Amino acid sequence: MGRFRALLSGLGPDLLGLLVLALTLGLFMIDPAPAQRVQLQVFDAFQRAAPWRSDAPSQVAVIDIDEESIKRLGQWPWPRTDLAMLNRRLGEASAKAVVYDIVFSEADRTSAEALAQQFEDGDVRAQLAALPQNDAQFAESFSALPVVLGYFFLDQDEGGSDVEPPASFTISGTLPDRDVRTYSAALLPLPVLEQAASGIGFVTLQADPDGVVRRVPLVAIQDARLVPGLALEAVRVSLAQDAPNLLASDGTGETLSSPGSAVAVRLGRREIPVNDAGEMWVHFTGTGGPRTLPAWQIISNEIPEARLSAAVAGKTVFVGSSAEGLQDLVATPMSESEAGVMLHAATAEQIFAGHFLNRPDWARGLEALLMVVLGGLLAVLLPRLGAALGALAAIVGIAGVASLSWLAFTRSLYLLDPTWPALAIVAVYAVQTVAVYYREERQRSYIHAAFDRYLSPELVRQIAQNPDRLELGGEERDMSVLMCDVRGFSRISENYSPREVIEFLIAFLSPMSELLLSRKATLDKYIGDAILAFWNAPLDDPDHHSNAARAALDMVARMHELNCTMPQQDGSVWPGEVKIGIGVNSGLCCVGNMGSRERLSYTLIGDTVNVASRLEGLTKQYGVPIAVGEALAEQLPGFAVFEMDCVRVVGRDESARIYALVGDEACGRTEAFQRLRDAHGAMLLAYRSQDWSEAEAQLEFARDAYETFGITALRTLFADRIARLRTDPPGEQWDGVYQATAK
């Protein structure tokens, strides 16, 4: 993954797209099996969408040994006399030729000669042997019309024979023994039948790796010579042609095929395109196909002569079986179970009609060219178009390739593969888009990381999603505001160098900022050693009062930890015990993008902010770490918060009650806090009524409680103030409000 990221970073989008295109071209040259399967499935889809429909009368018919024929005439194999009857009837009906997709390699077991072996009586055996033999009668029926027989190839030569076709193949070029299938031997018909037949052809079919038969071989090699397939031999015999001729690539002067590859088969004036293996692509029909008759109707003479003649006259008749028990069923693009004889018949019919699907030898060259042109254009244009327009361009390119392939199929019967050019387009688009996205994400992450140092991460996310938020303006919201400041920062600055001061600020501000963000705060700004944060903007926070209070308490606790741990660290710049003061207030604020149109700052303004700042300043005078305003204190039921005093701060005419926050709800339930709260409240009541003795008594009563919470300075403050007022009474008009003289 790391190397891939480095590659995305180091290469420009153009070069990366071209690299992907080159890799795709490399795969194209290898042509892996999964890609071949996809290609074949595309061609299947074309066939299903546009099957062959011929308006011309069919020149082929099929006699089917179907399940009904087996049921009526008995189990296969039938007596050859029945097949002889079939031949004679077809001859009388003027069929042009009969082609058997059946291998008659064994003698008829129902023949008189075979039955004679079952008798011990010599006379009986002699009489039976003298009777006409079924195989001989079947061979004799071949005189009624030309007959083509089939044979199987064997993978091994045990028990097999060499093929001697009646008309030997001729070849133009080199024997294509690299791609055309080579067999060592064949299982041939009985000699009496082979000699009587007008032709023989192999019936062996080869399925693709997915088990589907799409092509029928017209030629194979046995004993270093070419032999014809059943369909080709059937056409040759039907047309009374001489030996077929195989056209090899080096016999044509063509250069796009490898030397010695099969290109076409010539039969008379017909030229049949084949692939390198000598196979012809079959253009399957949607429904129907060659006229099919059940065998039992003809053999049992159940079909009228006129009807039979209309079905087979002048046609080449193929005989085969669709019965499951005879195991001659194959899968095709149109059907999961098709009789093998139908493929041979369809091949012959298309040879008669001159209708050929063709995957020409220049097809792969054209597909590679389309990959280079379309993939290269997209690689160059995509970084400039962007993802959306690039996707549109990719879709147009894929649609164009698919349309070209479809038109080539429907108009010219060419099989052009659209998958590789489409794959090149998809690969270039996907990788380039990922690369650009990754690069933009890195830039966006960098921007986020940079702005997160100044703005709330949530605010940065919202601005990234909705840039309109950068417009000037604000809104009024009920918010909580926190101001935190380091006590004695000026002294720290005097005693340390600027670099050391910065190191101290980083050590202080980083953990404090993390605490605030964990409590859903938005960090507004750092003012030297001070932190300004707020809640309930830009996102709604219904718990902003308690979140602000807990954040302040967390900061005080964290400050205590830092004072204990930081001085112990090597190289740490930590000036002894550092104290902070925190002022927290709640109320209406105006929050939004403030500033000029050239420079914006997401911040807030309002009296609530000013009071929070004054409260932070008062923490020094009152000796408490956290001071909160009255509006916030009212929203903290259960917290350890109590009224400290009533103060008129600098810059304000109205007085305000200020409160000290010393703990959360658990602390608020303790006896120590309740004693502190009650005693300080009673002290304030006596103080404001100028009952100095009672006020002093309450301070003394709660001495331990002040010490428990570390705010003895608050007790000392009021003790000193009461002593001064006792000496110099404020008069009857005094309202008990303390006038602050400093911020």
CA angle in degrees (0–180, nearest 5) for 548-553-557: 145
For 164-194, what is each residue's pLDDT tens digit?
Answer: 888 888 898 889 988 999 998 999 999 999 9
Q: What is the model's pLDDT at position 42? A: 93
Q: Give me the architecture of the 468-611 domain, per CATH.
A: 2-Layer Sandwich (3.30)
The C-alpha atoms of residue 179 and residue 170 are separated, in whole angstroms, by 17
Q: What pLDDT was estimated at residue 391? A: 86
Q: What is the distance between the alpha carbons of residues 144 and 632, in angstroms, rounded to a whole number?
A: 115
**pLDDT value at residue 158:** 66
Cα–Cα separations (whole angstroms), residue 243 to 51, 166, 236, 246:
31, 9, 8, 10
**Alpha helix segments (H runs only) across 276-362:** 295-299, 305-312, 340-353
Residues of the chain with pLDDT under 70: 1-12, 111-132, 156-159, 252-259, 287-289, 440-473, 597-598, 742-743
| Residues 484, 601 contacting (CB under 8 angstroms) | no
pLDDT at site 733: 87
Rounded alpha-carbon distances, angstroms, from residue 470 to 213, 395, 477, 551, 600: 66, 36, 18, 28, 8
Q: Identify the pLDDT of residue 37.
A: 92
Distance CA 234, CA 258 (A): 30
- The amino acid present at 368, given as its one-letter code, is A
Place of tokens 């133009």: 172
pLDDT at 46: 93
CA dist 549 and 371 (Å) reads 65
Q: In this structure, are residues 483 and 615 in contact, taking their beta carbons and an 8 Å threshold?
A: yes
Can you give the pLDDT at residue 251?
76
Report the run of H or E that residue 526 belongs to, with start and end.
strand 522-527
| Nearest residue to 188 (alpha-carbon basis) of 216, 219, 163, 155 | 163
Q: How far apart are CA 213 and CA 346, in angstroms?
A: 13
Q: What pLDDT is recorded for position 722?
A: 94
Residue partners of 186: CB distance under 8 A and separation at least 6: 151, 152, 153, 154, 160, 161, 162, 163, 202, 222
pLDDT at 461: 67
Tell me the three state secondary structure of residue 304: coil
The helix (H) or strand (E) run that includes residue 545 is: helix 544-565
Angular region, 74: left φ>0, alpha ψ -120 to 50, beta rest: left
For the chain, how long is the longest CA-to-CA vector?
A: 163
Q: Beta partners for 530? A: 527
Note the pLDDT of residue 120: 55
What lies within 8 Å, CB to CB, of 549 at 6+ separation is: 584, 628, 632, 636, 639, 641, 661, 664
What CA–CA distance (Å, rounded) separates 633 from 709?
18
Q: 264-300 pLDDT, tens per residue?
A: 999 999 999 999 999 999 999 876 567 899 999 999 9
Pair 639, 677: CB distance under 8 Å: no
What does the pLDDT read at residue 716? 95
pLDDT at 255: 47
Q: Coil, strand or helix: which one is 471? A: coil
Q: What CA–CA distance (Å, rounded) separates 627 from 641? A: 9
